[in-house]
Amino acid sequence: MRQGFDNQKYIELQSDNIRKRIAQFGGKLYLEFGGKLFDDYHASRVLPGFEPDVKFQMLKSMANDVEIVIAINANHIEKAKMRGDLGIPYDEDVLRLIDVFRSHGLYVGSVVITQYAGQPAADAYRHRLAQLGVTCYLHYPIAGYPHDIEHIVSEEGYGKNDYVETSRPLVVVTAPGPGSGKLATCLSQLYHEHQRGIDAGYAKFETFPIWNLPLNHPVNIAYEAATADLDDANIIDSFHLEAYGKTTVNYNRDVEAFPVLKAMMERIMGQSPYQSPTDMGVNMAGYAIVDDDACKDAARLEIVRRYFAATERVKRTGIGEEQVERLRSIMNKASVTPDLSPARAAALDKEAVTGAPAGAMVLPDGRVITGKTGDLLGAASALLMHALKAVTGVDDAEQVIDDAAIEPICRLKTEHLNSANRRLHSDETLIALSITSATSPVAARVIAGLEQLRGCDAFFSVIISSTDEALYRKLGINVCCEPKYERVSLYHK
């Protein structure tokens, strides 16, 4: 796959930039971490070469200076708000995050429950954290937030919040998702630090939009596609343009909120260290792009993927048509169509010729491989096998998996697990392939080709099962589906 991004260069640039910001504020920095910390697959798709955990690697390179504080909104605990990508509630994700950080040698200092107003579920969660030995602090709703600056930056505002005890120069404030109160936690801490005569500053680490790429660069447009449900928009940072005469890109909410944020920092610190939202950022991603054309091509494909994901969601749930319309507009801005990937035409043609649901995949060398639903394998399984044979040089006509490995799984599904579908899902197909590989060198060779499919694009003529989609995602294969079902029925898994 074409590499457009230098991962190591990014780690070095980003670490140096954060250290400079720590020094700027006298030795202590509260860094608001936006986006996903160690599973940033959007970034890895639009910046080929960006590793999903690169931000995590960067923090590990500074591990002795880093302390992590996790913020979670009490209302999200009360409502059991879920992470859509993981299928777990925010409160459980906090525990998952703590485990992951600790397993990699990063120090998690505490959890802050924001917007706390006596919610019963939040109280139960506090008790659970205490039993687990996790220090927990409370931050409260503030009347007049965010516009009544005088009240907010006072003993009756931030002053009522618990002071979070920290011990390291870089305090990373992260969260399980948006709306958790990361910014408010940082500003509350700035207030308390300055009340105690401690020098401290604030900065923001958000990968997208990339401030030093053009407004309509496909990578920045892809960010708009990723946040189409939030109605975010990339705009020129007017404050930066006025202060420095330089054109930079930010997103609308940060630019709109900047006057209030600047006023808060002036009230807390005596003067604002920043003249624009761009000033607040520490993002060096733009400087690590080494092949701009590769990133543009990857971003255009991501925009189309977001469109198909939205159309599939409408088909599944019946809601979200306005998001689809917004994504159509975004595709027009990026000058792309739903047919951008050759996999779509190949999958639809395969279905038209065979009369069976079909899929197609673009391999790293540009070849387009197809597969269709058969007697024993579904479309996702068939495509996976054909693609694996292709990248490992095995003749497509060669039978790689023993029937002796497939048939018992089919019987188990229908005779014991009450499944009406005896065909193997892609995960079951890989299990059968693994069993065969114990005695077949060819099967072992084929299964060793899985890593070569990472980053490939697949398209299906129907909506595939959640099981197949999850397996493809684990393998790092990007999936799009035509927004239609294989069967005419009301209920689909």
The ranges assigned to domains in the chain are 7-288, 341-481
pLDDT category at 55 given cuts 50, 70, 90 is: confident
Please give the model's pTM, rounded to 2 decimal places. 0.90
Mean pLDDT confidence for 383-392 = 97
Q: Helices 426-437 and 466-474, interaxial angle, to 10°?
A: 60
Q: Which CATH number fits domain 341-481: 3.40.140.40, 3.40.190.10, 2.160.10.10, 3.90.550.10?
A: 3.40.140.40
Residue 467's SS3 state is: helix
- Residue located via tokens 């801005």: 333
Checking if the pLDDT of 133 tops 70, the result is yes
Please check whether residue 277 is in contact with residue 254, taking contact to mean a CB–CB distance below 8 angstroms.
Answer: yes
Parallel, antiparallel or unpaired: strands 170-174 and 478-481: unpaired
pLDDT tens track for 274-330: 999 999 999 999 999 999 999 999 999 999 999 999 999 999 899 999 999 999 999
Residue % of the chain over a pLDDT of 70: 98
pLDDT of res. 490? 58
pLDDT category at 403 given cuts 50, 70, 90 is: confident
CB environment 195-204: b (16+ within 10 A), e (fewer): eeeeebbbbb
Q: What are the tokens at 235?
A: 């705009």
pLDDT of res. 402? 79
Separation between Cα atoms, residue 169 and residue 66, nearest integer Å: 7
Tell me which DSSP letter residue 451 carries. G
Is the omega angle on the peptide bond into residue 209 within 30 degrees of 0, that is, cis?
A: yes
Q: What are the tokens at 131?
A: 């039993």
pLDDT of res. 486? 84
Checking if the pLDDT of 53 tops 90, the result is no
pLDDT of res. 138? 98
Identify the weakest region by mean pLDDT among 198-202, 302-306, 310-314, 407-411: 407-411
Question: Residue 107, by phi and psi: left (phi above 0), alpha (psi -120 to 50) or beta?
Answer: beta
Checking if the pLDDT of 491 tops 60, the result is no
Question: Average pLDDT over the chain, rounded to whole?
Answer: 93
Checking if the pLDDT of 468 tops 90, the result is yes
Backbone angles phi, psi at 371, to 5 degrees: -160, 150
Residue 214's SS3 state is: coil
Mean pLDDT confidence for 104-126 = 97
Mean pLDDT confidence for 87-92 = 92
Question: Measured between alpha carbons, how far is residue 100 from residues 53, 63, 95, 135 in Å?
Answer: 12, 14, 9, 17
Question: Measured between alpha carbons, how far is residue 122 from residues 112, 113, 117, 209 in Å?
Answer: 11, 8, 9, 34
Checking if the pLDDT of 493 tops 70, the result is no
Residues whose CB is less than 8 angstroms from the CB of residue 324 and which lie 6 or more positions away in sequence, other chains included: 307, 310, 311, 314
Superfamily of domain 7-288: dip2346 domain like (3.10.630.10)
Separation between Cα atoms, residue 209 and residue 207, nearest integer Å: 6
Mean pLDDT confidence for 138-161 = 95
pLDDT tens track for 219-276: 999 999 998 887 789 999 999 999 999 999 998 989 999 999 999 999 999 999 999 9
